[in-house]
Amino acid sequence: MEAMNQTGGCTALAALYFQGKLYVANAGDSRAILVLKDNVVPMSSEFTPETERQRIQHLAFLFPKLLDGEFTRFEFPRRLKGDDVGQKVLYRDYFMEGWGYKTVEKADLKYPLVHGHGKQARLLGTLAVSRGLGDHQLKVIDTNIEVKPFLSCIPKVNVFDFALHDIKEDDVLIMATDGLWDVLCNSEVAQMVRSFLAENRTDPQRFSELAKCLVCRARGMKRGHQWMLDDSHEASYDDISVFVIPLHNKEED
């Protein structure tokens, strides 16, 4: 922030090949998968307010002042209303995997620390991710509540040992932002990868061309005022960045 005079933030997904092993580190909602001849190996998992609910709630339990009296750390299936006070409703706290019951108090009517589901899930009603870099000055709108204490920069690292696998010529690492994964699942991406590489064996640019094809597939086609996929579902409206990295080393054959 100080060096570049930028106040924003970003997620981070990094891959390192070192001494026969592939290390993939993720802090955010991008994703990496290995598409091998016979299977797909997930190399990361997304960090969102939903997937990290318990860590976030536990932090609020340890340091309640972070919420400044404006939010409740409890999660409820729906936004509570004044009529709910005194009623028993489902809720979740940091130590709970599943749901339990509690009697609603007036303090429970505050906005939840984690609210929403899927792409609509938000941390402090502000961010859709729970890990990333930057955002040091980000505050909840119209408050002095800082988001950064809940936003972890620590990645989760997964390791793939090449020595335990027979790497083939068309085996690749796919790294992409959530714009791709919002509309395509791992198996759909793998199917596209295998089909494209099998049909373009002699093209020296086939890996970069495959990346472009994946971006175009997620972006869809413009129909009227909307971008649509081939199956008439809405295309991705998020950033779509894709890397296709070959794993095979011809010199080792």
Instruction: Tell me how crowded residue 191 is: count the other CB atoms within 10 A of its CB.
Output: 14
Beta strands in 74-184 (DSSP E): 88-91, 100-103, 111-112, 114-115, 122-123, 133-134, 156-161, 172-176
What are the pLDDT digits (tens) for 31-67?
Answer: 999 999 989 999 999 999 999 999 999 999 999 999 9
Beta strands in the chain (DSSP E): 9-10, 12-18, 21-27, 31-35, 40-42, 71-72, 88-91, 100-103, 111-112, 114-115, 122-123, 133-134, 156-161, 172-176, 221-223, 226-228, 242-246
Q: Give the pLDDT confidence score for residue 252 in this predicted structure.
A: 61
Note the Cα 166 to chain centre separation in Å.
29
Specify the range with the lowest mean pLDDT, choosing from 12-21, 158-167, 227-236.
227-236
Q: Give the pLDDT confidence score for residue 150 in this predicted structure.
A: 96
Q: Give the pLDDT confidence score for residue 249 in this predicted structure.
A: 77
Q: Which residue has the higher pLDDT, 251 or 231?
A: 231
Give the pLDDT band (50/70/90) at residue 170: very high
Mean pLDDT score, 88-93: 96
Q: Give the pLDDT confidence score for residue 188 in this predicted structure.
A: 95
The answer, yes or no, to whether residue 144 has pLDDT greater than 80, is yes
Task: Give the separation between CA 251 and CA 3, rounded to whole angstroms.
Answer: 41
Q: Give the pLDDT confidence score for residue 191 in this predicted structure.
A: 96
The answer, yes or no, to whether residue 231 has pLDDT greater than 90, is no
Asked if residue 22 lies in contact with residue 160, where contact means CB atoms within 8 angstroms, the answer is yes
Q: Give the pLDDT confidence score for residue 215 in this predicted structure.
A: 95
Q: What is the pLDDT of the chain when averaged over all its residues?
A: 92
3-state secondary structure of 177: coil
Rg, C-alpha atoms of the chain? 22
What are the pLDDT digits (tens) for 181-213?
Answer: 999 999 999 999 999 999 998 899 999 999 999
Q: Give the pLDDT confidence score for residue 122 in this predicted structure.
A: 93
Report, at the CATH architecture level, how domain 12-46+155-246 is classified. 4-Layer Sandwich (3.60)
Domain boundaries of the chain, sorted by first residue: 12-46+155-246, 52-134
Residue type, 183: V
Q: Give the pLDDT confidence score for residue 253 in this predicted structure.
A: 54
Q: Give the pLDDT confidence score for residue 251 in this predicted structure.
A: 64
Mean pLDDT score, 108-118: 92
Asked if residue 224 lies in contact with residue 150, where contact means CB atoms within 8 angstroms, the answer is no
Q: Give the pLDDT confidence score for residue 250 in this predicted structure.
A: 61
Q: Give the pLDDT confidence score for residue 95 in this predicted structure.
A: 96
How long a stretch of residues is the chain?
A: 253
> Could you tell me the two tokens for 72?
């409740």
Give the pLDDT band (50/70/90) at residue 1: confident
Q: Give the pLDDT confidence score for residue 68 in this predicted structure.
A: 94
Mean pLDDT score, 231-251: 86
3-state secondary structure of 65: helix
